[in-house]
């Protein structure tokens, strides 16, 4: 450290000056906007959760399992997502599909969101486009570890987010979650 940095007060004052500069610049911008200057833009605080920012279409949100036209899962239980998952949070058990052309179907497909790191590799690895992370749902906390495990039925019931990025599916509330 230099001598100047060693003198505590100098650094503190420069910090305060930086914060104050941002404050006054924003205040000026907001005042100018209020007085009619539409091109002036100050920093805005979004009042989450009442107010929400639009999400990017690339956002990786809660997973869902895509259905075929007859409502059955597209998933063929090939375990590619389970294999590629760096968090080991996907649990698939395969079963025989009545149609030998499809061959395999998951009997069980659980995602432990308590472990998931939202890397999106499962979506990348899927050869059937059967798993997507486009629900727009980001709130799925739970009071227990088991509440974080989403089963095949829950994942199949989720819908993709609307064009504005807002969740179209009802946010599934784990049984143990209280208001």
Could you list the residues that contact other proteins (CB under 8 A)?
A: 76-80, 82-83, 91, 93-96, 100-104, 108, 127-128
The CA distances from residue 122 to 27, 30, 65, 78, 110, in Å, are 45, 44, 11, 12, 13
Show the tokens assigned to 159: 């819908």
In whole angstroms, the minimum distance from the beta carbon of 160 to other proteins comes to 23
For other proteins, which is the closer residue by CB, 83 or 144?
83
* Complex with other proteins: residue 62 or 105, whichever CB lies closer: 105
Secondary structure, 3-state, 25-53: HHHHHHHHHHCCCCCCCCCCCCCCCCCCC
Q: How many CA atoms lie within 13 A of 87 on its CB side?
A: 14
CB of 80 to other proteins, least distance (A): 6
The two tokens of residue 59 are 């956002």
Measured from the CB of residue 88, what is the shortest distance to other proteins in angstroms?
8
> Which one, 107 or 166, has the nearer CB to other proteins?
107
Nearer CB in complex with other proteins: 31/146: 146
Say how many CA atoms lie within 13 Å of 163 toward its Cβ. 0
Min separation Cβ 47 and other proteins, Å = 43
């Amino acid at each position: 450290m230099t001598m100047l940095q060693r003198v505590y007060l100098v650094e503190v004052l420069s910090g305060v000056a930086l914060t104050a500069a941002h404050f006054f610049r924003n205040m000026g911008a907001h005042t100018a906007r209020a007085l009619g200057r539409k091109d002036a833009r100050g920093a805005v605080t979004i009042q989450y959760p009442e107010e929400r920012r639009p999400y990017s279409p690339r956002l990786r949100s809660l997973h869902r399992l895509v259905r075929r036209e007859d409502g059955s899962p597209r998933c063929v239980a090939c375990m590619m997502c389970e294999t590629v998952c760096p968090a080991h949070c996907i649990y698939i058990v395969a079963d025989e599909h009545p149609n030998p052309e499809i061959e395999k179907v998951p009997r069980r497909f659980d995602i432990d969101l308590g472990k998931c790191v939202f890397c999106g590799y499962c979506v990348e690895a899927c050869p059937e486009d059967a798993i997507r992370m486009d629900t727009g749902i980001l709130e799925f906390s739970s009071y227990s570890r088991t509440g974080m495990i989403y089963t095949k039925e829950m994942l199949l019931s989720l819908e993709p987010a609307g064009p504005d990025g807002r969740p179209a599916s009802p946010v599934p509330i784990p049984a143990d979650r209280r208001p």
